[in-house]
Amino acid sequence: MRKENKRKRRPLILIGTVVTGFILLLTAARTTMQGTVEPVKTEFLGMNTYIMFTAYGSDAGEALQAAEQKMADLESAWSVTEESSEIYQVNHSNGEPVTLSGETAEVVGYALSMAEETDGALEPTIYPALTAWGFTTGENRVPDREEIQEILKRVGYRKIILNGNQIQLSEGMELDLGAVGKGYAGDVVTELLKKQGITSALLDIGGNIQAIGAKPDGTDWQLGIRSPFGEGTLGVLSVADKAVVTSGNYERYFVGSDGKEYGHIINPETGYPVENELASITIIAKEGRQGDTLSTALYVKGLGGAITYWKEHPDFDLIAVTDDGEIYLTEKIADAFSLNSAFGNMKVNVIEK
Ligand code: AMP
Ligand code: MG
């Protein structure tokens, strides 16, 4: 597999879904002549990505409207760029304590606990490094080693004090929920939709997929796992009631003047974009927050580190794709994943406990 073939892609697509563009589309649920219930869909932009919610049931239209509003509220609270957001306030607090809303304190608390759990592979304070590499402005550049060393002094989740709803960062530190916010928001929306009586829905938040229940006919959702090497889907994963989240530097990267590719997931130990044998890693978890944090963190850890982590915390599944075209998947989902014939030459390895 050649790296040059990589393209910016949403890693997961829903098989059979036609994306009609960035428009708000809210259609009423209706029963067809055959008696099958048609889905209600809403599509919009939020959290710097493309979002599509699909739900079934007679109250689905109203429920999705509430879900979309909730996403907008979370974005307003968690944005790093909107001056009125809670995260912006924290990042401009000059070392002073800031009081957060309950929901924001929870997502930050979760990110900190996963930072601890992954030995700092997830680093919620990596933002200054992202800025140095130009990922926050779009003006990408390769910083020199000294600059990176200086920047790493402002990075380190252990220096954050979170006490109830009050948070305090050291001066110069900045929080970024980029690796956890979409998954956490998916959980919040899942909760909201379930409360409104929705038992069958699919949330696609920029490629983070969350399945509520199964399809209305009771069968599993069939999700296409996007190839990190360019066009096409590697294979199809059959799931119900799960979050399926992929990370990889193929999603967002730039090519430096040295001809090298530099991706948006940073190794917090070095301050450099992750460079290891992984092309992508997909996490299949009960909750979006776990899928989102682990896909980023285990991408940082690399194949060996990801497998070790899974053996120590086997409450999720993973599909890892290496740069040289091998697939590693955990034993429980081996039967739920089927490789597309176009990728039939890829070697599939089952990870066992
Ligand atoms: P994801 O797409 O969920 O893997 O998250 C990637 C995003 O998380 C990046 O675009 C950054 O905003 C941020 N990020 C990059 N590296 C890390 C890291 N090591 N820990 C936490 N967040 C990161
Ligand atoms: Mg993530």
Write out pLDDT tens, residues 126-152: 999 999 999 999 899 999 999 999 999
CA gap 244, 90 in Å, rounded: 30
CA 27 to chain centre: 27
Instruction: Give mean pLDDT, residues 95-102.
Output: 98
Write out pLDDT tens, residues 146-183: 999 999 999 999 999 999 999 999 999 999 999 999 99
Tell me what pLDDT residue 23 has: 34
Tell me what pLDDT residue 289 has: 98
CB of 247 within 6 A of ligand 1: the answer is: yes
Q: What are phi and psi of 203, to 5 degrees?
A: -110, 130
CB of 122 within 6 A of ligand 1: the answer is: yes
CB of 246 within 6 A of ligand 1: the answer is: no
User: How is the chain split into domains, by residue range?
Assistant: 14-76+201-351, 79-168
Which mutation among 140, 244, 296 tests ligand 1's pocket best, with the greatest number of atoms within 8 A of CB? 296
Intrachain domains 14-76+201-351 and 79-168 with the same fold: no
Ligand at shortest distance from the CA of 129: 1
Instruction: Write the DSSP string, 45-89.
Output: EETTEEEEEEE-STTHHHHHHHHHHHHHHHHHHH-SS-TTSHHHH
Query: Which class is 79-168 in CATH?
Result: mainly alpha
Q: Where are the alpha helices (DSSP H) in the chain?
A: 60-78, 86-91, 102-117, 127-132, 145-152, 181-195, 288-312
CB of 296 within 6 A of ligand 1: the answer is: yes
Mean pLDDT of the chain: 91
CB of 112 within 6 A of ligand 1: the answer is: no
Whether residue 161 contacts residue 170, with contact meaning beta carbons closer than 8 Å, is answered with no
Write out pLDDT tens, residues 61-82: 999 999 999 999 999 999 999 9
What CATH topology corresponds to 14-76+201-351?
T-fold (3.10.520)
Which mutation among 8, 48, 122, 264 tests ligand 1's pocket best, with the greatest number of atoms within 8 A of CB? 264
Instruction: Supply the Cα-derived Rg of the chain in whole angstroms.
Output: 20
Could you tell me which residues are beta bridge partners of residue 339?
235
Helix (H) or strand (E) holding 214: none
CB of 323 within 6 A of ligand 1: the answer is: no
